[in-house]
């Protein structure tokens, strides 16, 4: 009987973990606050140090919208401009979290919270939400 309870409990735990959704970042504490220019400059100067500070952490980034791209009806990519035309901050947002983004246009100032996933050509933020200031 005890073995049956253990098997059922383990099965329920595995099922709930498999179906768990990522935390909504709107209620998560941001470990850092910066602007798009500073974030890109830090990654360009010393990627290893920038990774130590930001990689895998929720951060708030303020910047001006360079472009809003709808991707496959499931994701919205908000690109924040910087003084360096080659590098921007790419903020990937689930379309379900992007309802408030329609009030913004190219050139508007915005603060976005996301999990920093590193630096490719742009600094990448995932699971983003718009932060109301």
> What does the pLDDT look like over 19-47, one tens digit per residue?
666 666 667 778 889 999 999 999 999 99
- What's the average model confidence in pLDDT over 113-124? 92
- Looking at the whole model, is its pTM more than 0.85? no
DSSP code string of 37-103:
HHHHHHHHH-HHHHHHHHTTSEEEEEEEEEEEEEETTTEEEEEEP-SSTT--EEEEEEGGG-GGGGG
Q: Are strands 123-130 and 89-94 parallel, antiparallel or unpaired?
A: parallel
Count of other CB atoms within 10 angstroms of residue 19: 7
Average of per-residue pLDDT values in the chain: 86
């Amino acid at each position: 009987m005890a073995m049956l309870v253990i098997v059922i409990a383990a099965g329920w735990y595995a099922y709930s973990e498999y179906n768990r959704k990522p935390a909504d970042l709107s209620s998560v504490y941001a470990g850092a606050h910066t602007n798009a220019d500073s974030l890109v400059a830090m990654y360009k100067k010393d990627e290893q140090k920038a990774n130590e500070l930001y990689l895998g952490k929720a951060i708030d980034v303020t910047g001006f919208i360079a472009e809003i791209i709808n991707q496959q009806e499931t994701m919205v990519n908000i690109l924040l401009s910087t003084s360096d035309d080659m590098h921007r901050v790419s903020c990937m947002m689930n379309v379900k979290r992007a309802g408030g983004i329609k009030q913004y246009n190219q050139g508007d100032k915005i603060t976005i919270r996301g999990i920093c996933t590193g630096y490719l050509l742009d600094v990448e933020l995932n699971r983003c939400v718009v932060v109301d200031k």
